[in-house]
Chains A and B, each alone.
Chain A
């Protein structure tokens, strides 16, 4: 199974908004509303930020939002803060009844 495609890195200044894309196919991202996003700080376990495309778990800041158009899902972080600097991974369910992850995006807060 092929990994979902994410940009290797994105950056933004405090207070700005950034968007991370996650591109798959009709067999995964485009076919199901089962896309999630994870934040991972160095040495820590991934933390769920968005599930089922656009839902935020309890406790996650409303600065984080998710959306999907066709085969591409997106994570937007508004009002960028220093603590948002981390690696971000997307994940999607697939037609093979499996789950696939993206290659990861390193977010740098300038």
Chain B
């Protein structure tokens, strides 16, 4: 059964970059059947789609974050990654990676990232 595991620093300083990796196990990331996504949820707020990436490297980003976000995929490691630049306290959230087919989003367990000095 496919599993997704987020990893990365839990604390990031304001104005620095947030970098997270999602490791996919139990299946190949190099498939045309799925997109791979990042979703975040600030404490007490609704989830927010951050972006999606295809195994070929094609990306789609949330326009509200577009200038600060970069997603990449490493098929040799079965991983995909998120980088968010110039973070502020508003970027504090649970960050989830997900596998998507249509509107079928299969989420990882998430990792909490706090932006604070």
The chain A residues found within 8 Å of chain B, CB to CB, are 1, 3, 34-36, 38, 45-46, 48, 51-53, 55, 57, 89, 91-93, 96-104
Contact status of A98 and B46, CB under 8 A, knowing A45-B110, A48-B106: no
Our pick among A3, A51, A98 for the contact of B104 (Cβ within 8 Å) is A51
Within 8 A of A (CB), among B73-117: 94, 96, 102-110
Say yes or no: is B48 at the interface (Cβ < 8 Å to chain A): yes
B103:A93 contact, CB within 8 angstroms = yes
Say yes or no: is B49 at the interface (Cβ < 8 Å to chain A): yes
Contact status of A101 and B49, CB under 8 A, knowing A1-B62, A45-B110, A96-B63: yes
A102 to B37, CA, bound (A): 18
Contact status of A52 and B103, CB under 8 A, knowing A91-B47, A97-B60, A104-B46: yes
Interface of B is mostly: strand
A104 to B60, CA, bound (A): 24
The chain B residues found within 8 Å of chain A, CB to CB, are 37, 41, 46-49, 52, 60, 62-64, 94, 96, 102-110
**Chain B nearest CB, measured from A76 CB (Å):** 17
Residues of A within 8 A of B104 (CB): 36, 48, 51-52, 55, 57
Residues of B within 8 A of A92 (CB): 103
A34 to B52, CA, bound (A): 15
Task: Given contacts A55-B104, A98-B62, list 9 more A-B pairs with CB under 8 A.
Answer: A34-B103, A36-B105, A45-B94, A45-B109, A51-B103, A52-B103, A96-B63, A98-B49, A99-B52
**Chain B nearest CB, measured from A21 CB (Å):** 16
B47:A89 contact, CB within 8 angstroms = yes
Residues of A within 8 A of B41 (CB): 46
Residue in B closest to A4 when the chains form the complex, CB atoms:
B46
A89:B46 contact, CB within 8 angstroms = yes
A100:B49 contact, CB within 8 angstroms = yes
A38 to B41, CA, bound (A): 13
A51 to B37, CA, bound (A): 16
Residues of A within 8 A of B46 (CB): 3, 89, 101-104
